[in-house]
Amino acid sequence: MLMLPDYRVRQRDYLLEIARALTSRLDVDEVLRLVLGASIAMLSGEVGLIALRDPDDRFRARASVGVPEDKLDVFKPLLESILLNETHSGIQHSQLDLKMRLVARALDLRLRQAITLPMMVRQQILGVVFVFRSYSGEYSANDQSVLQSFADQAAIAVHNAQLYERLSAEQQRLSAILEHSADGVLIMDAAQRIVGFNKALARITGWSQAEALGQMHDSLIFWEHVEHGQPLGAALASGWTQQRTSEADEPNTRYVEGDLRRRDGSRISLGVTYSLLRDDEGRLQNIIANVRDISHFRRAQEAKSAFISAVSHELKTPVALIKGYASTLRREDAQWDEATVQRALAVIEDEADRLAALIENLLAASKLQAEGMRLSQLAEVDLVELVARAAERFQTQTEKHHLRVVFPPDFPAVRGDEVRLRQVFDNLINNAIKYSPNGGEIRISGSYDAEGVTISVSDQGVGISAEELPNIFERFYRVDSALSRRTQGTGLGLYLARAFVSAHGGKLSVESTPQKGSTFHVWLPRLLVS
């Protein structure tokens, strides 16, 4: 039997061993080190470098042996010329040889020969292996075939490692998006066992990710009240997973909305959209749920409904009084004395003012929502006089409360819109009276420093709970208490007050203790912030 020379046998065995090793590697840098090491070993080289093609079509050195860091730049002209010499079958070597010899001389005068192994994938150069050695030698057709076979195997290995690297990066990116999504994301297998549970959903439900993974859907997602749609169990029982849709149809999803019981027993309003993920043959792989906390939306809807109800009541009462007194005065069968007429006209005037104030607040809120708050009538405002007039006005409306105004001497004026500032303090004083049903002192005090002035309105009323405090400046919001339900209001006063103060460059804040009272602080700059 004809035997190949020993070195040919060793070469082929070595090539086979390297090929097997390459196919088992998926790390790009590890594959490159293996390819370069094998190339130098097969060619008896001393110096080697691998350059890979970047997405911008430039070649960049990715692995090297025997090349000092400070000499990598000598390869730059060589790498830049690869594209110029690229052909469908590989590289045109005639133009590269001179540059390769220059590189060899720059690296070490003893290097005599430079060998180029292009790594081709789909008739495009994926990368190039450069090997330099200290002697010159020729290659037979068989040697060239072996080397090209190795280069082809190396190209496939590098290409696969790059694809795996990109896939891993994409998976990490998608995982990060799901993990840090503001909405909760729940992923189940076909048996409804939880296999994915992001941070937002842990925050929403109160169940940790470690506790949730591996559990069944219904053991964590427990509806106390469903307002819209079917829970997952009912949808599956009705054959939802058997329903098919074409690509042109709407996605096959199910939406359920209602109140969910959290891990600690509290309730939260959620909207959950379930969708199905199938494989290429149509088999169900996963059920994916997108979970959104709609508590704020539900509160806004409830506040809006309460606002409409309150406005209706606020409009009906003065209109009914105006109509009643006007009809009474117009009766032809009665003769009214002057005092009675004046009292009736005073009521009509007061109720008309009340209607005008309500309409002004509604228009201001609508304009604020559409355009933002703008101040037009700016002038110097004496806050001491403005607050004193407001206190005097409200003192005539109550006998149970004592309004006390305390300002230091030489209190500075501010530049602002007097009409808007009057609305702010009217609202704060009116609220202090309204929410102090047992009377007591209402103290309006002022202080100032080099930056600005602070006016505080304090009462001895029912106060506000810590849970309610963050919401009291929201549009349409009213504190949920028995007293609030008995008192008039639209939930616009504090919303507008904060907007007016902010338009002056100031801040409106509150401190409150339930059953002891509240203090609202209005801080305004001594000069208007433009």
**pLDDT band (50, 70, 90) for residue 530:** very low
**What sign does the dihedral 359-360-362-363 (CA atoms) show?**
positive
The CATH number of whichever domain residue 165 belongs to comes to: 3.30.450.40
Please state whether beta strands 452-458 and 440-448 pair in parallel, antiparallel, or not at all (unpaired): antiparallel
**What sign does the dihedral 502-503-505-506 (CA atoms) show?**
negative
Distance separating the N- and C-terminal Cα atoms of the chain: 99
Domain check: are 389 and 508 in the same one? yes
Of 235, 264, 293, which marks where a domain is finished?
A: 293
Q: Is the pLDDT of residue 521 over 90?
A: yes
Residues 6+ apart with CB under 8 A from 58: 79, 80, 83
Domain check: are 157 and 31 in the same one? yes
Q: How many CB atoms lie within 10 A of CB 399?
A: 8
**What would the pLDDT profile of 390-437 be if each residue is shown by its tens digit?**
898 888 888 889 999 999 988 999 999 888 898 899 889 988 998 888
Domain check: are 212 and 123 in the same one? no
Query: CA–CA distance from 208 to each of 141, 199, 205, 213, 515 (Å)?
Result: 65, 8, 8, 9, 38
Domain check: are 262 and 326 in the same one? no
The residue segments making up the domain with residue 438 are 379-525
The CATH number of whichever domain residue 197 belongs to comes to: 3.30.450.20
Domain check: are 442 and 501 in the same one? yes
Assess if residue 1 is contained within a domain: no
Assess if residue 449 is contained within a domain: yes
**What would the pLDDT profile of 185-198 be if each residue is shown by its tens digit?**
999 998 999 998 99
Q: Is the pLDDT of residue 256 over 80?
A: yes
Joined together, the tokens standing for residue 373 give 């708050």
Range with the lowest mean pLDDT among 86-90, 271-275, 336-340, 499-503? 86-90
The CATH number of whichever domain residue 439 belongs to comes to: 3.30.565.10
**What would the pLDDT profile of 2-40 be if each residue is shown by its tens digit?**
344 555 566 666 666 666 666 667 788 888 888 888 888
Domain check: are 12 and 161 in the same one? yes
Of 355, 371, 387, which marks where a domain is finished?
A: 371
**What would the pLDDT profile of 334-374 be if each residue is shown by its tens digit?**
788 888 888 888 888 877 877 877 777 666 666 655 555 66
Domain check: are 305 and 289 in the same one? no
Structural domain count of the chain: 4
Of 293, 319, 346, which marks where a domain is finished?
A: 293
Q: Tell which wins on pLDDT, 388 or 312.
A: 388
Domain check: are 148 and 26 in the same one? yes
**pLDDT band (50, 70, 90) for residue 233:** confident
Q: Tell which wins on pLDDT, 354 or 219.
A: 219
Distance CA 486, CA 311 (A): 14
Domain check: are 211 and 64 in the same one? no
Domain check: are 136 and 194 in the same one? no
Domain check: are 49 and 155 in the same one? yes
Query: Cα dihedral angle (426, 428, 432, 434), rounded to 10 degrees?
Result: 60
Assess if residue 85 is contained within a domain: yes
Q: Tell which wins on pLDDT, 473 or 444.
A: 444
The CATH number of whichever domain residue 305 belongs to comes to: 1.10.287.130
Assess if residue 62 is contained within a domain: yes
Assess if residue 530 is contained within a domain: no
